[in-house]
Homo-oligomer: A and B are copies of this chain.
Amino acid sequence: MVTIGDVASIAKVSRSTASYALSGKRTVSDEVRRRVEAAVRELGYTPNAGARALATAQTRVIGLLAQFLEDEFAPAMLQYMLGVSNTACELGYDILLATEEDGRSALRRMTDSRMVDGIVLLNVAEHDDRLPILRDAPQPGALVGLPANCAGVDVFDLDFEEAGRLMVDHLRRLGHRELILVSQPEHVVERGGAYVWRLQNAAVDAARRSGVVLRPVFAPSRQPEVGRELNALLDAHPSVTGLLINNEAAAAALPTVLHERGVTAPTDLSVIGRYSDEFARTFSLPYSSIESAPDRLGRMAVRELVRRIEGQVGPDEPHVVRFVSPELVDRGSTATPPEV
């Protein structure tokens, strides 16, 4: 392979001068810089990443820990990954991806061996078992998802409480008095998927305060079970006039379910989901929704992480916990309930 030594000898300078000419960290005469640049072009020189990492203790690689769990909806996860990956690229970083089930060992491998300058954790649980490892690691970490303990890491998440309130208040104002909230499956909660109950509790509170009946249910995250569950729910509660969906699989199944039942939104039933606009387009979902902003969250996490990596944020400066405010994207699926 062609090394900086080759460049140096072609350019008739020392290796250090060649290095400085390329990095710009020391002034170099124009003449010398030109010769070095010409040599680089001639030889097609690219620095060896391993050697550079060894010398600088920087890899310009970010570790991305994703997990595709059986009870979660894979296409939704992809959005977050792309937000992270694209932003990293823009900032000059590459992504080392781990999708294996055992996130702990992947994380340890990446951090202990110094393969990465920082870590992004996706799909963070309330008591995420990867977190203690990340805190002990020498690299900084950024999370998408809110754990119980945010010490030592930067945290980014949708404001799910506000999302729950927003959904309920929107339909209450239109005159709805009985709603169903379809959440993720109960295992997601048991595993520590805090966003499920954060949204649910806030929705329940908002409903209680304003005298609205809210029926929260856990629904499966796979087809066709989730479709059956939606049908059963609508059968069991004929007086319900509004549906809140915090479950991507349920949202994806809903058009078919409503068609089968001959139900039209918003004439017969008002619907609000919680998913990204990209998701809505992919699945052709015609429902108004709380934008979950996966690309924006991924972008924020990487931006802050890179600021830490590059020392623009001091190691002792406090970490951030930042919530994205939910916004209601109106797709016309809510209206005054039919009885009114």
Interface 1/0s, chain A 32-67, versus B by CB < 8 A? 000000000000101111111110000101001000
Chain B: which residue is nearest A77 at the CB level?
A: B78
Find chain B residues with CB under 8 A from A222 CB. 281
Inter-chain contact A86/B114, CB cutoff 8 Å: no
Inter-chain contact A86/B113, CB cutoff 8 Å: no
Question: A259 an interface residue at 8 Å Cβ cutoff?
Answer: yes
**Interface size class of chain A, counting residues whose CB lies under 8 Å from the partner chain:** 35 or more
| Copies of this protein in the complex | 2
Find chain B residues with CB under 8 A from A86 CB. 99-100
B51, B96, B138, B283: the one within 8 Å of A252 (CB): B283
Inter-chain contact A96/B94, CB cutoff 8 Å: yes
Q: How far apart are the CA atoms of A94 and B96 in the complex, in Å?
A: 7
Inter-chain contact A1/B114, CB cutoff 8 Å: yes
Inter-chain contact B100/A97, CB cutoff 8 Å: no
Chain B: which residue is nearest A78 at the CB level?
A: B78
Inter-chain contact B98/A48, CB cutoff 8 Å: no
Q: How far apart are the CA atoms of A110 and B95 in the complex, in Å?
A: 11
Inter-chain contact B284/A224, CB cutoff 8 Å: yes
A203: min CB distance to chain B, Å: 26
**Could you list 14 examples of A-B contacts with CB < 8 Å?**
A46-B112, A50-B50, A50-B52, A50-B53, A54-B54, A64-B97, A73-B282, A74-B282, A86-B99, A94-B97, A94-B109, A96-B96, A253-B284, A256-B284
